[in-house]
Structure 1
Amino acid sequence: MTERRQFSGGMKGKNLRYLEGECRGFSGQAKVGFLLLEHFSLPAFTQALDTIVTANLLRPALFTAQTFAMQDGEVTSDLGLVIKPDARLNMEGLHGLNLLVICGGYRTPLNASPELSHLLRSAAEADITLAGLWNGAWFLGICGLLDGYRCAIHPEHRPALAELSKVAHVTSEPFVVDRDRLTAASPAGAYHMALEWIKTLHDKALVEGIEDILSFEESRYRRIKASPHLSVSAPLREVVKLMDANLEEPLEMEQLAAYVGRSRRQVERLFKEQLGTTPQRYYLELRITEARRLLQHTELSQVEVLVACGFVSPSHFSKCYSAYFGYRPSKEIRRVK
């Protein structure tokens, strides 16, 4: 049996991240609760939830998520869409939670009932990490749960929180993670906030895998970005960027060298010294890694994928895929949500 090829240089981590990783001081399944307040920001909520769901796509059953409301029945989001939460939040609902996210919105009334305040303080006493989306930080602040913490809140509600919680540091940042308090002022902030929390529990590879899946670009074929994760010289970084931008029609070595003002031999030496591999092998690994992502996370056919990643024939594609992953591309598991 032919021994499987191992990935080299900067591409190794991009493929290891799809394997089982290690937790950072956390074992078992983390439970997240989302408290949906009236007129909560649906985009902020879905960004945070999607980040957690995507983590489960890469490594199943890392997280569970449950939605709550302060009353029975439905809750209306800021976009007018109505959601029926899983349960009403009470002391029993707090049991087993690792993270409780207060989901506010632009039109969410700044009115914390005694019941909500009691539940939030109880959650803090139970060492549950607390988070606030949009103006969710205000509800933490009114309970004194941001005293001595840095936090983020939507600009519209920043003065109100600063006046209410004078010993909190109310920032203008899109998101803040300060120990066991997580806050975000926008949907994009909610995404990064959730990523940072996951990073405290699990390895960097998982976080980068989530980023690869959720970092959409202009083209559906452009989600793998190797260059930001490489500590290499400027000329080599430019070559890698050119490779990354030309997967469908791979450039020849002479073209790559000419574009960066180096000879072919100079480029080959840069790859050998800084990435421990050859340009040809790195280019192949970049293309095969993107092919795997497309097969796992899109509905593109195998033929569409091999064309998008610059392979000349199904047999060549299958041979290369099997050499690295140990099975044919037709056996790849689809993880389309």
Structure 2
Amino acid sequence: MVERRQFCGAMQGKNLRYLDAQPSQEVRRARAGFVLLEHFSLPAFTQALDTIVTANLLRPAVFATKTFGLGTDEIVSDLGLVIRPDERLTPDAVCELDLLVICGGYRTPLRYNDELSLLLEVAVEQGVTLAGIWNGAWFLGRAGQLDGYRCAVHPEHRPALAEIARLTQVTSEAYVVDCDRLTASSPTGAFYMALEWIRSLHGKSLTDGIEDILAFEASRFRRIKPMLNLSISGPLREVINLMDVNLEEPLQMLDLCLYAGRSRRQIERLFKEQLGTSPQRYYMDLRITEARRLLQHTSLSIVEVSVACGFVSPSHFSKCYSAYFGHRPSKEIRLVK
């Protein structure tokens, strides 16, 4: 009998589903549980779930998944589809898991839930890895389970998380894996977050195979993101980054030119050619957008928001805000309960 040749590491994953290899020893099945919150992001949830389920196509039965609710009712996703979880989340159910994922969404209310916080404590005591999708990290942070960790959360909810989790490093990344805390801010982030968890258990060959199958889905969600990062040049990106980190005390045009090492004419040309606007208008758009996020997702006062976003007075802020959104800051809907 001719000995079967082995693929090299770089190609093994791509061919894993065709190799029919039998594991040399029995592998323990890892168990992942998904807590579905009201209006959870269905695309983000399914990306994580599909990644894990796809792993079972390559290595049968290495993972088990289950959905949970905090009650016994059906749950409406962000797309309006109604989901009935497999069961209610209980301490006994938590103890049977290896990974517990809190699935939030854009319209998921940011409300403290004492029952969920207690269940998260049980999970930590049992050595269960915790994860959050979209704004799921907010619930982990509100329960004190992200202290000392880095995390990812959807951009709309970064201010809210930063406010209630002072010991947490809230990043702008699509996903973060920090020891036994996994977080993702988008469907694509959820995909790669799940991949990292799988890789930690079964190695790169399996995740290479998963990526080979799901690459199209990943790129499809990636295209939902704004095309800004794909279309702007390095010098322009540098100027935009300077603006982004200087919202409270906006830089004058002269300072932007100095720090970026470009002339005013060069910077204005870059903005006009690549973004179709002026640097001043872009900077204002950036500041007013951040102001809306702060108003909606934190308990900061209007005066505090106006200061945080570099407006010279509350009246000037109110005038600018009304010009953009058609209503005064005082009329903005507050989403933090």
Alignment correspondent of 2:181: 181
Rate the CA distance shift 1:197–1:2 in 2: closer, same or farther, 3 A.
closer
Write the deviation string for residues 71-120 of structure 1: whole angstroms up to 9, x where unpaired.
11200000000000000111111121000000000000011221111111
Q: Is the 8 A contact 1:35 1:101 kept in 2?
A: yes
For residues 161-310 of structure 1, the aligned pairs below 5 Å read 161-216=161-216
Residue 105 (1) aligns with residue 105 (2): yes
Please identify which structure carries the higher helix content: 2
- Measured in 2, the distance between the counterparts of 1:55 and 1:162 equals 34
Q: Is the 8 A contact 2:133 2:185 kept in 1?
A: yes
Q: Which amino acid aligns with 1:130?
A: L
Alignment correspondent of 1:72: 72
Determine what percentage of the aligned residue pairs are the same residue. 66
- Measured in 1, the distance between the counterparts of 2:36 and 2:9 equals 44
1:8 Cα deviation from its structure 2 partner: 7.1
Alignment correspondent of 1:118: 118
Secondary structure of 2:47 counterpart: helix
Q: Which amino acid aligns with 1:112?
A: Y
1:62 Cα deviation from its structure 2 partner: 0.5
Alignment correspondent of 1:139: 139
TM-score by length of 2: 0.60
- Measured in 2, the distance between the counterparts of 1:217 and 1:61 equals 23
1:14 Cα deviation from its structure 2 partner: 3.5
Q: Is the 8 A contact 1:37 1:108 kept in 2?
A: yes
Q: Is the 8 A contact 1:38 1:104 kept in 2?
A: yes
Structure number with higher relative contact order (C-alpha < 8 Å, ≥ 6 residues apart): 1
Alignment correspondent of 1:233: none
- Measured in 2, the distance between the counterparts of 1:6 and 1:197 equals 25
- Measured in 2, the distance between the counterparts of 1:98 and 1:146 equals 18
Secondary structure of 1:33 counterpart: strand
1:203 Cα deviation from its structure 2 partner: 1.8
Secondary structure of 1:216 counterpart: helix
- Measured in 1, the distance between the counterparts of 2:169 and 2:89 equals 28
Secondary structure of 1:140 counterpart: helix
Tell me, which stretches of 5 or more residues in structure 1 are unaligned? 219-337
Residue 49 (1) aligns with residue 49 (2): yes
- Measured in 1, the distance between the counterparts of 2:124 and 2:46 equals 24
Q: Which amino acid aligns with 1:105?
A: G
- Measured in 1, the distance between the counterparts of 2:118 and 2:6 equals 54
- Measured in 1, the distance between the counterparts of 2:208 and 2:201 equals 14
Residue-pair matches, total: 217
Alignment correspondent of 1:38: 38
Q: Is the 8 A contact 2:13 2:208 kept in 1?
A: no
Q: Which amino acid aligns with 1:89?
A: L
- Measured in 2, the distance between the counterparts of 1:119 and 1:3 equals 51
Tell me, which stretches of 5 or more residues in structure 2 are unaligned? 219-337
Alignment correspondent of 1:152: 152
- Measured in 1, the distance between the counterparts of 2:113 and 2:97 equals 21
Q: Is the 8 A contact 1:21 1:205 kept in 2?
A: no
Alignment correspondent of 2:95: 95
Secondary structure of 2:198 counterpart: helix
Q: Which amino acid aligns with 2:118?
A: H
- Measured in 1, the distance between the counterparts of 2:8 and 2:115 equals 56
Q: CA RMSD in A?
A: 2.5
